[in-house]
Copies of this chain bind each other. A is one copy, B any other.
Amino acid sequence: GKTYRVAAIAGDGIGKEVLPEGMRAVETAAAKFGLEIEFTSFDWASCDYYLQHGQMMPDDWFETLKGFDAIYFGAVGWPATVPDHISLWGSLIKFRREFDQYVNLRPVRLLPGVPCPLANRKPGDIDFFVVRENTEGEYSSVGGRMFAGTEREFVLQEAVFTRHGVDRILKFAFELAEGRPRRKLTAATKSNGISISMPYWDERVEEMAKSHPGVSWDRQHIDILSARFVMQPDRFDVVVASNLFGDILSDLGPACTGTIGMAPSANLNPERRFPSLFEPVHGSAPDIFGKGIANPVAMIWSGAMMLDFLGNGDAAFKAAHDAIIAAIETVLTQGPRTPDIGGTAGTAEVGKAIAAAI
């Protein structure tokens, strides 16, 4: 079989603590199912690197990484020394844009053994995907400030929605829905308030729906949609959203399942022209860094998503993915658990238990 080359980038804070546990799980599953995964570690895309070099990454980062099959990423950000907009726009957001990782895919799932903040919900009740556009929309650097420093000061911030960008994320989401048992899609919008970009988004959703007749779909305004994540999370299957709305929904969803510290994510370039990136949703968590108590589940779960994507339908990779998920569920049910979910175990202890369960 082919050897898959993965760039392992720990980044900052607890990224450095959870990445080794993710690699352990991936290597264990790979060994079990006969997959060849080869990790290469890099210490840049981190604030430490920035403090030494005045930039987050070396000039040749693109050339260095572009031949890899995937990037397995810890977390970036250390606001005490480097402002977030420098660390993030100098690394993570560059990867997403320049490697054209236009899909940000985030599962929302109620797991066994995890305290759920919603009343009367049990594992199995909540199981859906947020598909977030990851390169354009509200996250733009176009705009500016006028009359700076005076009473008349104002800023303009442009949101940019291209047909190219909108159609490809909608296509991905409709196809994802087609492959799931419920075949349902909800598109987040706000066309009753935001009067140019969102009606355009609605228009493209309607157009894309025509070529995916097997999917039952609706549109919901982001305000009431957020409310329904709390009130009726069992109703969702695939939720597709713009960059900003997807950002909000993919934190809110895991919050509703009690898994905000355990949520994985995939930043995908579905055409595989560039490496895709797999990272936990949690950040670098300066408050708990160094204590060895970070929950490694998000990192490990992201590793499972990575194997699934690398396999591109291959049965052995799917089996490796499923084995990791099953191992996570076993350990969440039986322990050991990290303190954030009521346990007393450390990062490595949980990581080893998951590897053993694989």
A228-246 at interface with B (beta carbon < 8 Å): 228, 230-231, 243-244
Q: A271-298 CB contact bits vs B (8 Å, 1 = yes)?
A: 0000000000000000000000000000
- B244–A194 touching, CB < 8 Å: yes
- A163–B192 touching, CB < 8 Å: no
A153-207 at interface with B (beta carbon < 8 Å): 153-164, 190-200
Q: A249 to nearest B CB, angstroms?
A: 8
> Which of B93, B154, B190, B195 makes the CB contact (< 8 A) with A162?
B154
If A141-B196, A161-B157, A200-B155 touch, whether A251 touches B231 (CB-CB below 8 Å) is no
Number of chain copies forming the complex: 2
A88 within 8 A of B: yes
Q: Determine the chain B residues whose CB is within 8 A of the CB of A226 once the complex forms.
A: 226, 248, 251-252, 255
Question: Of the 9-residue stretches A1-9, A46-54, A112-120, which lies at the interface with chain B?
Answer: A112-120
> Which of B151, B198, B260 makes the CB contact (< 8 A) with A164?
B151
A43-97 at interface with B (beta carbon < 8 Å): 84-85, 88-89, 93
Q: Determine the chain B residues whose CB is within 8 A of the CB of A255 once the complex forms.
A: 226-228, 230-231
A313 within 8 A of B: no
- Residues of A in contact (CB 8 Å), total 63
A213 within 8 A of B: no
- B195–A223 touching, CB < 8 Å: no
A152 within 8 A of B: yes
A33 within 8 A of B: no
A125 within 8 A of B: no
A256 within 8 A of B: yes
Q: Determine the chain B residues whose CB is within 8 A of the CB of A163 once the complex forms.
A: 150-154
A39 within 8 A of B: no
List the interface of chain A (C-beta within 8 A of B).
Answer: 84-85, 88-89, 93, 116-120, 138-145, 150-164, 190-200, 222-224, 226-228, 230-231, 243-244, 247-248, 250-252, 254-256, 260
